[in-house]
Structure 1
Amino acid sequence: MGRFVRWRAFLLGVGAVWACLGAEAAIAADPIRIGSFLSVTGPASFLGEPEKKTLELYVERANRDGGVLGRPIELIIYDDGGAGEKAATFAKRLADSDKVDVLIGGTTTGTTMAAVPMAERAKVPLISLAAGIPIIDPVKSWVFKVPHTDRMAAEKVILDMKKRGIAKIALISEDAGFGKSGHDQTVAVARENGIEIVADEVYSAKDPDVTAQLTKIKNSPGVQAVFNFGAGQGPAIVTRNFRQLGMTVPLYQSHGVASKDYIRLAGEAAEGVRLPAAGLVVAAQLAATDPQKPVVTAFKSEYEKTFKSEVSTFAGHPYDALQIVLAAINRAGSTDKAKVRDEIEKTSGYVGTAGMVSMSPTDHMGLSPSAFHMVEVRKGDWVLLD
């Protein structure tokens, strides 16, 4: 069935002295069950592994503070390895056997979409950590998401290209989930903005080399920039092959690579690459007046202090999902799934790692394009451009 981790957060620290009577009462109460299916291993592990760490860290912290509604939180995580069929199986197990109150996951667009039909049938609120716009467009009653959409990423990149006077581009994308959706959104956004796509290539997440596709792009007349839409190791391979071919036009990536792991994998080839990202990766560079700055600065500090590793955009997604869920349960006054669903939909003015979130019956993400920043890789680090 695949590797899995099942963690009963409220049992951790047995024997420790709880700080208050509220916490003691929480031990005896029925737990609030939060289920999660993440890609902790496999090609998307650099996304799923920090997501798992964040959920565990902040569920433990919530329990130390007495839980929610005087009840402890039980966190159950399954590792789908990035496989859609496993994600669907684990989501069903979480709903039917583990009797969870809320679902957080999946890591990728593909694993999320595999689980969406089950969440809708079982009427269990699901908050996705993935970016694909099909997750929330069209709106689905029980499904929400916290990251920016691939369309927003395409809009941010195309806008930056127009500022640089770029009118003809090449598109290269991964032939699955996030890459496919991002490709389609980019084609639409480019058309709307008068940008001509003169070359359009695809690759598989398992491809060890994409020189053939990039050579076609290099030989296409008029290419002024290249935009890659993908996640995992693929974009790093694209970046290295791009430089190996001596290509010098601007190279853009999507927010699917907003992690230092991408820079490490791509090495010096990443120098000068631009991409849209959340404020979390450039927390110290945000303006003092930015309402996100204290939130992302605190989260970055806590994560890096705890795990001794640099924070990524992806680590912030489960933090936002968890805070939105716990606040919704608190407002609902129970774990009644319909009431919690309604309260998630009413989320307004929440300032998280991805930006300010205000959802509605017609918007199950709640982020505006202003939540995105354009960044550039310089000397192995992110530099804020706007």
Structure 2
Amino acid sequence: MKRIILVVAAMLFSSFAFAGTVKLGALFAVTGPAGYLGMPEKQTLEMLVEEANAQGGINGDKIELVFYDTQGMENRTLNYFKRLVTKDKVSAIIGPTRTGSTLVIKDMAERYKVPLISCAASRKIVEPVSKYVYKTPQSDIQVAEKLYEYLVSKNKTKIAIITAQSGYGETGKQALIDIAEEYPVDIIIQEKFNDTDKDMTAQLAKIKEAKPDAVICWGVGPAPAIVARNAKQLGIDNLYMTQGVASKKFINLAGDAAEGIKLTAGRLMVAEQLEEGDKYKDVLIDYKNAYEKKFDDSVSVFGGHAYDAFHLFKIAYEKANGNMDKFLEELESIKGFIGIAGEFNMTPEDHTGLSKDAFVIVEIQNGDFVLVE
């Protein structure tokens, strides 16, 4: 009889531990070329959902996570998005990982009236503004601003660019071109590569012949590591990259060729190097320690994008008291949230809420990231 009572009590506790359930969708590329971006996003989100549910959910509502692997493919992203909103009936979606994958569903979020918080970077995701679409990474225009400011401060004004033929690479290239006239820089040569290319020697040889002061490579995944190795073989030692390679996996792929490369990055990669009292340091180190302890793997800025997306969702859901009609109003009015990418200050006109100050310049030294500026 005692055992029966205990079982019934456990069932009752299980039934009434949460006031309700909120379904949260997730679309990440955990396999395919962008797998090393999407996997830490998925793992981070799962960790945060588990932690939140262990603490009673959000406003007493249990979070039910529904995840699909897009493999970084636009058609899979579109199909899974439709499944999340029509079959799974999620309240909001976090992801996708890549710019192209996000752009293919941007209009769908508006059509189905489902909030989407992307983990991809292009400003095209939030420009023009859509009531239902947000993103957490710093925008490509802010990357370009930070890079140009740093290069000009070092008297490097003759610029070569080599960019991926992908959503991320194309919008990055456009950002570099669009704001070049605002700085005393001259883009003297432009080259490109595909994410699946295995050798970029021909493009880099042309760049070397042009004798630029700096070479900016804009891409994600394994391809920039090949650019780094080919550049080293050609004796190019003035290579700059973006947060698209801000991961230990890039260093592992590039090997010795990564040494000396400078890049824009969020503060996460150099959290321990920040000064005491820095407003980001505690948040960054807490996330880093929790992630690395749970998954026995190095933290990356890409997981940080999912961290920020989840917390933005959580803040808005709490403020709206679970009312999804009020959710968007609360989401676009979030101010002063200290996340992994930076300080978020959303407005109806700005659905990212970050500035170029969210970036630092780091250099790869002895197989690790070192804060430069």
Question: Given the two structures, how large is their TM-score scaled by the length of structure 1?
Answer: 0.92
After superposition, residues 1-386 of structure 1 pair within 5 angstroms as 25-27=16-18, 29-220=19-210, 222-248=211-237, 250-336=238-324, 338-386=325-373
1:287-320 deviation line (CA, Å, top 9, x unaligned): 1121110000100000001111110101111111
Q: 2-side partners of 1:84 and 1:93: how far apart?
A: 14
Contact 1:32–1:335 (8 Å) recurs in 2: no
Percent identity over paired residues: 43
**Cα pair distance change 1:352/1:24, threshold 3 Å:** farther
**Inter-partner Cα distance in structure 2 for 1:25 and 1:218:** 67
Question: Contact conserved, 1:259 with 1:312, CA < 8 A, in 2?
Answer: yes
Instruction: Tell me if the contact between 1:101 and 1:335 (Cα under 8 Å) persists in the aligned partners.
Output: no
Question: In structure 2, how many angstroms separate the alpha carbons of the residues matched to 1:366 and 1:24?
Answer: 39
* Matches of 1:349 and 1:140, distance apart in 2: 22
Task: Give the Cα–Cα distance (whole angstroms) in 1 for the partners of residues 304 and 323 of structure 2.
Answer: 24
- In structure 2, the residue corresponding to 1:219 is in which secondary structure? helix
Residue 194 (structure 1) shift: 2.3
The residue matched to 1:140 in structure 2 has which SS? coil
| 2:36 and 2:221 in contact (8 A); partners too | yes
Q: Matched residue of 2:20: which SS?
A: coil
Give 3-state SS (helix, strand or coil) of 2:191's partner: strand
Counterpart Cα distance in 2 of 1:107 and 1:94: 16
Deviation per residue, 1:339-377 (Å, 9 max, x gap): 111111111111111111110001101112111111000
Instruction: Give the 3 Å change call, closer, same or farther, for CA 335–98 of structure 1 in structure 2.
Output: farther
Please tell me the residue identity of whatever aligns with 2:50. E
Q: Hey, what's the Cα distance between the residues in 1 that align with 2:84 and 2:132? A: 15
TM-score between both structures, scaled by the size of structure 2? 0.95
Q: CA RMSD in A?
A: 1.6
Shift of residue 335 of structure 1? 3.9
**Deviations 1:245-266, CA, capped at 9 Å, x for gaps:** 1223x11001111111111101
Residues 213-260 of structure 1: CA deviation (Å, up to 9, x unaligned): 11111112x411100010111110100000011223x11001111111
Q: Which runs of 4+ in 1 moved over 6 A?
A: none
Find the counterpart in structure 1 of residue 3 from structure 2.
none
CA contact (8 A) 2:152 2:184 kept: no
- Aligned amino acid, residue 98 of structure 1: D
Describe the SS at the equivalent of 1:192: coil
1:320 and 1:225 map into 2 onto residues whose CA distance is 32
- What code does the residue aligned with 1:359 have? M
- Structure 2, unaligned runs of 5 or more: 1-6
Q: What is the CA–CA distance in structure 1 between the aligned matches of 2:335 and 2:273, rounded to whole Å?
A: 26
Q: How far does residue 189 in structure 1 lie from its aligned partner after superposition? A: 2.0
Number of aligned residues: 365
Letter in 1 for 2:177: V
Distance 1:325 1:53 in 2: 17
Q: CA deviation at 1:284?
A: 0.1
* Cα distance in 2 between the residues matched to 1:139 and 1:214: 37
1:24 positional shift? 6.2
Equivalent residues of 2:136, 2:308 under 8 A apart? yes
Q: What SS does structure 2 have at the residue aligned with 1:31?
A: strand
Distance 1:176 1:350 in 2: 31
- CA displacement 1:50-106 (0-9 Å, x = unmatched): 100001111011111111122111000100100011111111111111100011011
Contact 1:296 1:353 in 2 (8 A): yes
